[in-house]
């Protein structure tokens, strides 16, 4: 076993799955297991079960199941190494840090660590400037005018960058090398090589990455200075296209509600969050990038776009719709009345009015049709412009059925000839492969009791698992069973000489078999004994003999004059004697 493998096994053995899952799901003890509402789909009756004995989870509703690492990977939308580290942190288990593969990688890792530390210190500095200086008092007054009380300012870590040219620089200079200061994005270098503060006389909004570490700042001018907003530049720890503002705080709400509200800027995101909509993220500007969409897609595939209603905001909304559709998102659009941005609307109309409009947000196609209808629809040229405006969005829908539905809707609302519109879409239909997503097949109680017991024994029968696997393998007793693929995987694991990890076996199975395996593992049963195992094996042998007898009888009846009739009759007598002896 590799070092990484042994570390993962040690973490898995020491970790408590109930404790970790309990941070995400309210669990209630039911017998020897725990149950709760599944975090992976909407439900009112608990079907999600956690076994502290087996250290596994399974949802009987949606079929999600696995070990503690699988759970964290699903909830945090992360890869296995990150999940292992998170589990270790949650359970207080020390694990060795991954070793950089080269001197250059070690240097880069050290730089990133230092820059994160520097931003944490800058955040503390900005907050103190807001709370404890005369300049900060003016900034606080501005924030109060925007409806932000002290609790909100503290909640979102809002600070202030003073007007002096090098106040932050002097604060950091004694602790960090000049090269790192210049690389941090917190300071800039003038023409003569002199360093000075990048942010001056500005309200500061800390920008955190997905794990909650501050990696950049977005800063609004206090007064008429330009630009109105100034953000951190690209650095080794910050790439604008890979970060969504407020995502670190919104993750839990995104999982719970399964949709995101997408706004433009910091104050919009803060206003929406204060209105009780915690599942809000901002794109830190008007251009939504593909990496940001893929990041958001790890938490939800449903989005309500609520950008500013000005010309730039409308253009950004349309660009966002296009790229969201390419990533197979379900998109709705909220265009607030009165050309108000979310922050202004909530301050003037109240949170309840905003929540009501949010719930009524129309699908993106209705928003786009409304935009298209602003064109002159009384002429053929105007209708052509409207169709040319809409078609690129419809063509980006990967699902052929949805494309067809939207084409019908567009034709009806714009009073167009539907066959003509469909002809315009035919090229897109041939270029894309339609895909219909269905719910996982419910496996129900497909396996017979004998099969279910034997599967349980192969997974958990300490002391006789290997012998049981050998008998089943020698007689090929699982061939043709509904559960054949599960038996093949468990027998191979049982004969390997290693401890059987049910979650690893499940991971190698197809969806239907994986769900059935987890259902069986969570069944209430009596103690597993070798005596019962022998009885179950005998039952399979009996079932196999009955099937073979039926096959022989069909061969005899199909061709009574067959040359091998004598052999068939002998085989029939042998099988009948075997079945009689077993009764």
Q: Residue 345 has what pLDDT?
A: 94
Q: How far apart are the first and last CA of the chain?
A: 48
Whether 97 is covered by a domain: the verdict is no
Report whether pLDDT(553) > 60: yes
Once rounded to an integer, what is the mean pLDDT over residues 269-278?
Answer: 95
As a whole number of angstroms, the distance between CA 338 and CA 530 comes to: 76
pLDDT of residue 454: 87
Q: Which range has the worst mean pLDDT, 134-143, 273-282, 497-506, 553-562?
A: 553-562
Give me the numbers of helices (H) and strands (E) for the chain, helices first please: 26, 15
Residues 114 and 179 in one domain: yes
Residue 292 lies in a domain: yes
314 located within any domain: yes
| Cβ-based neighbours of 45, under 8 Å, separated by 6 or more | none
Q: Which residues contact 488 (CB under 8 A, 6 or more apart)?
A: 478
Highest mean pLDDT among 342-351, 456-465, 491-500: 342-351
The whole-number pLDDT of residue 114 equals: 94
Write the DSSP symbol of residue 498: S
Least confident span in 94-108, 312-326, 521-535, 562-576: 94-108
Strand partners, 261: 280, 304
3-state secondary structure (DSSP) of residue 58: strand
Q: Are residues 558 and 454 in the same domain?
A: yes
- The pLDDT mean for the chain works out to 83
Residues 468, 469, 472, 478: what is their CA dihedral angle, to the nearest 10 degrees?
A: 120
Task: Give every strand in the sheet of 280-282, ordered side by side.
Answer: 280-282, 260-263, 302-305, 330-333
Do 140 and 231 have their domain in common?
yes
**Domain identity same for 274 and 326:** yes
Count of domains observed in the chain: 5
Distance CA 257, CA 332 (A): 15
* pLDDT above 90: residue 15: no
In this prediction, residues 113-129 reach a mean pLDDT of 95
Residues of the chain with pLDDT > 90: what percent?
Answer: 30
Give residue 422's pLDDT band: very low, low, confident or very high (50, 70, 90): low
Q: End of a domain among 339, 361, 383?
A: 361
What is the per-residue pLDDT for 180?
Answer: 92
Quote the pLDDT of residue 562: 66
Does residue 199 sit in the same domain as residue 177? yes
pLDDT of residue 444: 40
In this structure, is residue 105 part of a structural domain? no
Q: Is residue 439 part of a domain?
A: no
Mean pLDDT of 493-501: 80
- Domain harbouring 23, CATH code: 3.90.580.10
64-115, pLDDT tens digit by residue? 999 999 999 888 878 888 888 888 888 888 777 666 566 776 777 788 899 9
* pTM summary value: 0.62
Domain ends where: 361, 396, 421?
361
Residues 141 and 231 in one domain: yes
Strand order of the β-sheet with 28-30 is 28-30, 33-36, 48-51, 56-59, 65-66
In this prediction, residue 421 has a pLDDT band, given cuts at 50, 70 and 90, of low
Q: What is the CATH number of the domain that holds 355?
A: 3.40.1360.10
- Length of the chain in terms of residues written: 583
Count CB-CB contacts under 10 A for residue 545: 17
Does residue 543 sit in the same domain as residue 493? yes
> What CATH number is given to the structural domain containing 148?
3.90.980.10
pLDDT band at residue 123 using 50, 70 and 90 as cut-offs: very high
List alpha helices for 77-189, DSSP H: 80-90, 103-132, 134-145, 150-155, 167-173, 178-184
Q: State whether 322 and 375 are in the same domain.
A: no
On the question of pLDDT at 237 being above 80, the answer is yes
User: What per-residue confidence (pLDDT) applies to 5?
Assistant: 59
519-542: average pLDDT: 82
Helix or strand run (H / E) with residue 67:
none
Asked if the structure places residue 440 within a domain, the reply is no
Residue 219 has pLDDT above 70, yes or no: yes
The last residue of one of the domains, among 238, 260, 290, is: 238
443 pLDDT more than 50? no
104 domain-assigned: no
- Cβ atoms of 186 and 119 within 8 Å: the answer is yes
pLDDT of residue 436 exceeding 80? no
**Domain shared by 287 and 327, yes or no:** yes
Looking at residue 285, its pLDDT comes to 64
Tell me: cis bond preceding 227? Omega within 30 of 0 counts.
yes
Indicate whether 445 pLDDT > 70: no
Q: By residue range, what is the domain housing residue 335?
A: 242-361
Q: Could you tell me the two tokens for 475?
A: 């007689």
Q: Yes or no: say if 286 and 311 are a contact pair by the CB < 8 Å rule.
A: no
What are the residue ranges of helices labelled H in 146-233?
A: 150-155, 167-173, 178-184
Q: What is the pLDDT averaged over residues 377-386?
A: 78
Tens digits of per-residue pLDDT, 32-49? 899 999 988 888 889 999
Largest CA distance in the chain: 110
Both 218 and 300 in one domain: the answer is no
- In the prediction, which pLDDT does 438 show? 32
- On whether both 248 and 211 belong to a single domain, the answer is no
| Cβ atoms of residues 469 and 458 within 8 Å | yes
Are both 453 and 502 inside the same structural domain? yes
Whether residue 86 lies inside any domain: the answer is yes
């Amino acid at each position: 076993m590799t070092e990484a493998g042994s570390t993962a096994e040690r973490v898995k053995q020491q970790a408590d799955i109930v404790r970790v899952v309990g941070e995400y799901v309210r669990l209630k003890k039911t017998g020897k297991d725990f149950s709760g509402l599944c975090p992976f789909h909407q439900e009112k009756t608990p079907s999600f079960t956690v076994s502290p004995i087996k250290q596994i989870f399974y949802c009987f509703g949606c079929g999600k199941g696995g070990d503690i690492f699988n759970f964290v990977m699903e909830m945090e939308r992360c890869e296995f190494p990150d999940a292992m580290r998170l589990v270790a942190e949650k359970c207080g288990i020390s694990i060795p840090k991954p070793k950089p593969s080269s001197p250059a990688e070690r240097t880069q890792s050290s730089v990133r660590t230092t820059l994160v530390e520097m931003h944490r210190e800058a955040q503390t500095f900005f907050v103190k400037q807001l709370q404890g200086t005369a300049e900060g008092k003016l900034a606080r007054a501005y924030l109060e005018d925007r409806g932000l009380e002290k609790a909100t300012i503290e909640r979102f870590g809002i600070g202030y960058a003073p007007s002096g040219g090098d106040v932050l620089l002097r604060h950091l200079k004694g602790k960090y090398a000049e090269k790192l200061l210049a690389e941090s994005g917190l300071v800039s270098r003038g023409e003569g090589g002199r360093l000075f503060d990048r942010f001056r006389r500005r309200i500061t909004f800390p920008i955190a990455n997905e794990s909650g570490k501050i990696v950049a700042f977005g800063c609004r001018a206090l007064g008429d200075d330009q630009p109105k907003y100034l953000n951190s530049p690209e650095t080794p720890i910050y790439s604008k296209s890979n970060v969504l503002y407020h995502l670190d705080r919104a993750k839990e709400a995104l999982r719970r509600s399964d949709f995101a509200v997408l706004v433009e800027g910091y104050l919009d995101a803060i206003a929406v969050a204060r209105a009780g909509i915690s599942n809000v993220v901002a794109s830190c500007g008007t251009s939504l990038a593909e990496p940001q969409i893929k990041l958001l897609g790890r938490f939800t595939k449903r989005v309500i776009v609520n950008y500013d209603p000005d010309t730039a905001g409308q253009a950004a909304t349309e660009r966002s719709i296009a790229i969201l559709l390419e990533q197979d998102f379900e998109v709705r659009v909220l265009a607030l009345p009165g050309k108000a941005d979310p922050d202004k609307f909530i301050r003037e109309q109240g949170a309840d009015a905003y929540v009501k409009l949010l719930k009524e947000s129309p699908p993106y196609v209705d928003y786009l049709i409304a935009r298209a209808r602003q064109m002159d629809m009384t002429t053929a040229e105007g209708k052509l412009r409207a169709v040319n405006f809409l078609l690129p969005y419809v063509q980006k829908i990967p699902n052929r059925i949805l494309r067809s539905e939207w084409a019908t809707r567009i034709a009806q609302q714009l009073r167009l000839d539907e066959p003509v519109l469909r002809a315009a879409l035919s090229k897109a239909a041939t270029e894309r492969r339609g895909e219909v997503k269905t719910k996982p097949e419910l496996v129900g109680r497909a396996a017979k009791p004998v099969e279910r017991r034997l599967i349980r024994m192969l997974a958990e029968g300490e002391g006789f698992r290997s012998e049981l696997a050998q008998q089943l393998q020698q007689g090929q007793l699982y061939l043709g069973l509904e559960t054949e693929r599960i038996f093949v995987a468990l027998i191979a694991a049982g004969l390997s000489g290693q401890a059987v990890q049910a979650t690893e076996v499940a991971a190698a199975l197809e969806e239907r078999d994986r769900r059935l395996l987890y259902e069986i593992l969570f069944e209430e049963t009596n103690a597993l004994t070798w005596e019962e195992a022998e009885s179950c094996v005998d039952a399979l042998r009996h079932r196999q003999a009955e099937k073979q007898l039926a096959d022989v009888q069909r061969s005899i009846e199909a061709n009574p004059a067959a040359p091998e009739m004598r052999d068939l009759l002998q085989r029939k007598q042998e099988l009948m004697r075997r079945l009689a002896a077993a009764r």
